[in-house]
Amino acid sequence: MAQFFKASPKNNIKSRILKNVLIEKLDHQGRGLFFYQNKPIFIGGALIGEILDVQVTESKKRFSKGKITNIIQASEHRVTPSCPHYEDCGGCHLQHTTASASSRN
């Protein structure tokens, strides 16, 4: 006789969109960082003080990663990157910020 198993739903935040998050600081790779349920979430392209909507793209046991879906309030240090390949290349992590802001961290 066949037994059927129904998995219990997990409280997984992957693919969830988090609204109005405040970026608290930058990590050593230039990613924005905030905490959600005492778990650090790293956001590429985010700057300190920005308020964003974020989609969680990867969730690990000790941390998560996400991407920006909407910038609600941009940082005063956000600028347009000078390189036309900035979004695709990935070689320069902080071209979206002023030099004075990136040297403070």
Please report, for the domain that includes residue 27, its CATH number.
2.40.50.140
| Angle value at C-alpha 88, between 101 and 68, nearest 5 degrees | 60
Residue 12 lies inside a defined structural domain of this protein = no
6 part of a folded domain: no
Q: What pLDDT sits at residue 63?
A: 95
pTM attached to this predicted model: 0.76
Specify the pLDDT at position 24: 95
Range of the domain at 63: 17-103
Query: What residues contact residue 55 under an 8 Å CB cut-off, 6+ apart?
Result: 15, 16, 17, 18, 66, 67, 69
Please give the structure tokens belonging to residue 66.
């996400």
Residue 67 lies inside a defined structural domain of this protein: yes
Closest to 13 (Cα-Cα) out of 50, 40, 49, 51: 40
Number of domains the chain contains? 1
Q: Within the chain, which residues score under 50 in pLDDT?
A: none
